[in-house]
Amino acid sequence: GNSVTQMEGPVTLSEEAFLTINCTYTATGYPSLFWYVQYPGEGLQLLLKATKADDKGSNKGFEATYRKETTSFHLEKGSVQVSDSAVYFCALSDGDDKIIFGKGTRLHILP
Amino acid sequence: NAGVTQTPKFRVLKTGQSMTLLCAQDMNHEYMYWYRQDPGMGLRLIHYSVGEGTTAKGEVPDGYNVSRLKKQNFLLGLESAAPSQTSVYFCASMGDSYGYTFGSGTRLTVV
């Protein structure tokens, strides 16, 4: 079945450091891929998405490229801020009526 | 503001008590979902609905019931609460485009 695997956290970085959170997926078809972010005490918010191979999703300085050859959708940001501290979820949808989520990666940014 | 509204935000139940969580969306979305979020487990799908009058089981449906009598509302019921149901519950909806809109969550403690 379809699944999403993302790197376990927590990830701790200093402000202005480069961020990568790895995500790989298993799917039978051509899924759409997502990154969601959850700030403390809140629900999940869609951060970015990509719907086909080689698409790059971007938002708020974050980027992720849909790599079909490596079945990956790694999240990157060039210079993180304290306000980026949150839990990040990688997810996929294969056109079915549900989205499948990874277990989440907690990110701590130190000032 | 348009979105997904969950009530209540917090609740403490005694073992064996019953309660209903309400999810309301004003975006005319067809699909609605109930998830629970536990530490280290990510998001697990409890039940979902693909339209008014429909419901389907997700990954962890036992101990929960749902109803979708109106398109905008999706109710999650616990008939006899157990400590294992202590969790944060999130409702989400999805329309024509990919991606969920989440509510802000209900934190439930069963003692």
Q: Which residues on adjacent β-strands are paired with residue B103? A: none
> Mutating which of B102, B104, B106 best tests the A interface, going by the most A Cβ atoms within 10 A?
B102
Please check whether residue B35 is in contact with residue B103, taking contact to mean a CB–CB distance below 8 angstroms: no
Instruction: Give percent of chain A above pLDDT 90.
Output: 82
The whole-angstrom separation of Cα B68 and Cα B95 is 16
Q: What is the mean pLDDT of residues A11-33?
A: 94
Q: Is the pLDDT of residue A23 over 70?
A: yes
- Decide if B102 and A43 are in contact by the 8 Å CB cutoff: yes
pLDDT digits (tens, 9 = 90+) for A53-83: 999 999 999 999 999 999 999 999 999 999 9
CA distance B83 to chain A (A): 21
Question: How far is the CA of B27 from the CAs of A110, B9, B24, B64, B108, in angstroms?
Answer: 38, 21, 10, 25, 26
Neighbouring residues of A95: CB distance < 8 A, sequence distance ≥ 6:
A29, A31, A32
The residue of chain A with its CA nearest to that of B4 is A43
The residue of chain B with its CA nearest to that of A104 is B42
B98 vs A93, A101, A102: nearest CB: A93
Q: Is the pLDDT of residue A103 over 70?
A: yes
- pLDDT given for residue B98 in this prediction: 67
Pairing of strands B10-13, B106-110: parallel
- Decide if A99 and B105 are in contact by the 8 Å CB cutoff: no
Task: Go through chain A and tell me how many residues it has.
Answer: 111
Question: How far is the CA of A104 from the CAs of A64, A86, B80, in angstroms?
Answer: 16, 10, 30
The residue of chain A with its CA nearest to that of B39 is A103
- Decide if A43 and B104 are in contact by the 8 Å CB cutoff: yes
CA distance B43 to chain A (A): 7
pLDDT digits (tens, 9 = 90+) for B49-108: 999 999 999 999 999 999 999 999 999 999 999 999 999 999 999 987 667 899 999 999
| Cβ of residue B33 closer than 8 Å to a chain A Cβ | yes
